[in-house]
Chains A and B, each alone.
Chain A
Amino acid sequence: MGKPVDSTVTITACAAVTALGDGLAPLERALADNATALRSCARFAGNNYQTDVVSAVPDALWDELRRDDPARADAPAFLLAHRVIRQLRPHATGRVGLVLSTTKADITALERLHAGQPCSDAARRHLLPGQLAADLAAANNMRGPVRCISVACVSGLLAIQTAAEMLQRAEADAVIVAGVDLLSHFVLAGFTALKSLDPDGCRPFDKDRTGLSLGEGAAAVLLVRGSGMTVAGWGSSNDANHLTGPSRDGSGLALAMQRALKKAGVQPGEADFVHAHGTGTLYNDSMEALALRLVFGDNIPPFSSSKGLFGHTLGAAGVLETILCVLAVRAGIAPGTPRLRVAGADIPASIQLAPRRGATLRTIVKINAGFGGTNAALVLRSQP
């Protein structure tokens, strides 16, 4: 293990593949337009799930990914993650590490095995998230440390935290953090079993919110030591309360935020914006509102959720939403909350319904919470 070094960790490049397509341009447009990518999806129609409204990578893009790598045509988690890592790899020099964030890796391989369908050795390997990370690192000639993080919906933020710590310990010169998760019958059936999905598509922080919407995609950020858009602080916590429901008082998420702010040396009043988890479930959104009050008191900064844009992408969510924050800073747009119509009575008034142009965002707090009572926060700062 390397000795800790005094260093600032910065995000220098981003890549994403989502329901909107490949690249950052569609995300930038959606950010400005407060758009949604939630649609009814033929892949999941007629299966007795609560809904078939999801945020799915377009079929034409899947076809392209499979054509590009026929040997791994039935290993979609690899194909998605490889696409975004490959885009960032040329920008990373020296000893390059990889931190992969995923909750279910290639769960579609298990579905095929369960149904007695053919499944390649490559796809079978990727049932194990650690193997998926190892194969992605090898395919992209990454010789630095490789880690795979799987902590439910906070995986992405903890992966960025893990990468930042690697850089501060000087174990790598650059680290690519990639998040990936697939839409699958497994996750649709699971969230249906928990009755957690909104049949019409999620409405984060809305008075009529009834559940979340699932999404798929891959996102990656390149972290190096240096100045720019910095990952200034991070923190995590556990509610020690319940496996599938958030703590009712918001104290666990507040603890994670307070740890991140303290590490960044930032006072709550310095935060310009909070990018929330905002799944659209009744309890999550209420819990977040309480957590924001615990940390910011009566001066809660403007906040929003992007789950109405690309759904809940699980292991990719933290990385994808961090990228949205980077794009928001660059564009000078405080993100809105797609699909929110009327905010719930328990939601703070600073909820951002529509995008606000001309915003100066120097300090953003990014938060996520997940099953197992896990909470995580990042403090992102843009240096002039």
Chain B
Amino acid sequence: MMIASYIGPEGFGNSRTGLQPWPAGLAEVLQRGEVPDGAWAALFSASCPRFGRMDGLSRLGLMAVELLGVEFADKDEVGVCLETNGGSIVADRQFLRTLSPSVFTYTLPSTAIGEICIRHKLRGPVLCLMGVNGDGRQALEQAQSWLQTGEVKSCLCVYADATGDAAARAGTCCFEYGSREDEVQKGESLVALCRRMCETRRTED
């Protein structure tokens, strides 16, 4: 089984529901590289009390995982692999302005993984890869490797960036052991894969 979700200025959705347009105003904010306070409430009925305190990277990663709509079984055996280019650079700048302890918590890119694991109670292996290409390819390869070697039974593979220097966007795939190898080509971009899977669904509709 492989399911994907995508968030970007073009829209949001998963490979079952297809890509949908944003409520008024949100696309423009994401285009500026920001993830506004109201983004979660605009998409989901379930509450997320921690959302307001998070940095953009954590917000984006958490929303992308929520969009998958997956209930994780065997939570100790789910791996989480995140790739990001800009990481915590926005929180870093904010911390230098504020010296706030609550902001300092988000000056590590891997805090986004912590937020995902706390919300979904996941206790499997984790990895945060700092990329340069902005495509999530490293995370995709790592997730496939973990599945092939039996490190995990399923794996969340996330690319997210919200730096303010480019549009905020995230792509997330959830693989389970036994996913068809040919569904993902060697060297394929995670972001492009997630977006394509969502767009394909919309076309099929």
Give the residue of B108, B149, B186 whose beta carbon is less than 8 angstroms from that of A103: B108
Q: Which residues of A contact B114 (CB under 8 A)?
A: 238, 243, 371-374
Contact of A190 among B89, B107, B149 (CB under 8 A): B107
Q: Which of B85, B101, B107, B149 contacts A4 (CB 8 A)?
A: B149
Contact with B along A24-56 (1 / 0, CB 8 A): 000000000000000000000000000000000
**Of B8-16, B62-70, B119-127, the one with at least 4 CB within 8 A of chain A:** B119-127
Would you call A12 an interface residue if the criterion is a C-beta within 8 Å of the partner chain's C-beta atoms? no
B-contact 0/1 string along A128-159, CB 8 Å cutoff? 11110110000000000001111110000010
Kindly list chain B residues whose C-beta atoms are within 8 Å of the C-beta of A362: none
Could you tell me if A130 and B132 are in contact, using CB atoms closer than 8 angstroms?
yes
Residues in A neighbouring B99, C-beta threshold 8 A: 189, 193
Give the complex CA separation of A190 and B98 in angstroms.
11
Q: Does A346 contact B (CB under 8 A)?
A: no
B87 at the A/B interface (Cβ < 8 Å)? yes
A-contact 0/1 string along B117-145, CB 8 Å cutoff? 11011111111111110000010011011
Q: How many residues of B contact A (CB 8 A)?
A: 48
Interface centre among A107, A148, A240, A242 (most CB of B within 10 A): A240
- Asked if B128 and A149 make an inter-chain contact with CB atoms under 8 angstroms apart, the answer reads yes
Question: Which A residues touch B75, using CB under 8 A?
Answer: 240
CB distance from A270 to the nearest CB of B (A): 22
Q: Which residues of B139-158 have CB atoms within 8 Å of chain A's CB atoms? A: 141-142, 144-145, 148-149
Interface contact B129-A128, CB-CB below 8 Å: no
- Given contacts A193-B100, A373-B118, whether A114 and B93 have CB atoms under 8 Å apart is yes
Q: Which of B97, B128, B138 has the most CB of A within 10 A?
A: B128
A110 at the interface (CB under 8 A from B): yes
Q: Does A211 count as interface, using CB distance less than 8 angstroms?
A: no
Q: A residues within 8 A CB of B177?
A: none
* A128 with B107, Cβ < 8 A, contacts A151-B128, A186-B92, A240-B117 known: no
User: Cβ of B128 and Cβ of A150 under 8 Å apart?
Assistant: yes
- Confirm or deny: B176 has a beta carbon within 8 angstroms of a beta carbon on chain A: no
Chain B proximity of A259: nearest CB distance (Å)? 8
Decide if B145 touches A169 in the complex (CB within 8 Å): yes
Tell me if A165 is interfacial: C-beta within 8 Å of chain B. Answer: yes
**Is residue B80 contacting chain A, with contact meaning CB distance below 8 A?**
yes
List B contacts of A371 (CB < 8 A): 105, 108, 110-111, 114
B37 at the interface (CB under 8 A from A): no
Chain A 193-226 per-residue mask, 1 if CB under 8 angstroms from chain B, else 0: 1100000000000000000000000000000000
Query: Which residues, 83 to 123 on A, are CB-close (under 8 Å) to B?
Result: 103-104, 107, 110-111, 114
Please determine whether B145 and A1 come into contact, CB atoms closer than 8 angstroms. yes
Complex-state Cα separation, A235 to B126, whole angstroms: 9
Chain A interface residue number, banded: 35 or more
User: What residues of chain B lie closer than 8 Å to A239, measured between beta carbons?
Assistant: 117, 123
**Distance between Cα atoms of A160 and B127 in the complex (Å):** 12
> Which chain A positions have C-beta within 8 A of B96?
110-111, 114, 186
CB distance from A384 to the nearest CB of B (A): 28
Contact in complex: B126, A236 (CB < 8 Å): yes
Report yes or no: B101 in contact with A133, Cβ–Cβ below 8 A: no
- Chain A: CB-nearest residue to B58: A243
Bitwise interface map of A from 237 to 275 toward B, beta carbon under 8 Å scored 1, else 0: 111111110000000100100010000000000000000
| Contact pick for B117, options A107, A127, A130, A238, CB 8 Å | A238
Name the CB-closest residue of A to B96: A114
A128-B87, A147-B138, A169-B145 as given contacts; A374 in contact with B101, CB under 8 Å: no
Q: Does B76 contact A (CB under 8 A)?
A: yes
Asked if A162 CB lies within 8 Å of chain B CBs, one says yes
User: Apart from A127-B89, A134-B132, A238-B123, what are 6 other A-B pairs with CB-CB below 8 Å?
Assistant: A1-B145, A104-B92, A127-B92, A128-B130, A151-B110, A243-B105
Some 11 contacts from A to B, beta carbons below 8 A apart, are A110-B93, A110-B96, A147-B138, A150-B87, A158-B126, A158-B127, A186-B107, A238-B122, A239-B123, A240-B121, A252-B123
Rank and list the top 3 A-B pairs by shortest CB-CB distance, nearest first. Answer: A372-B114, A193-B101, A148-B130
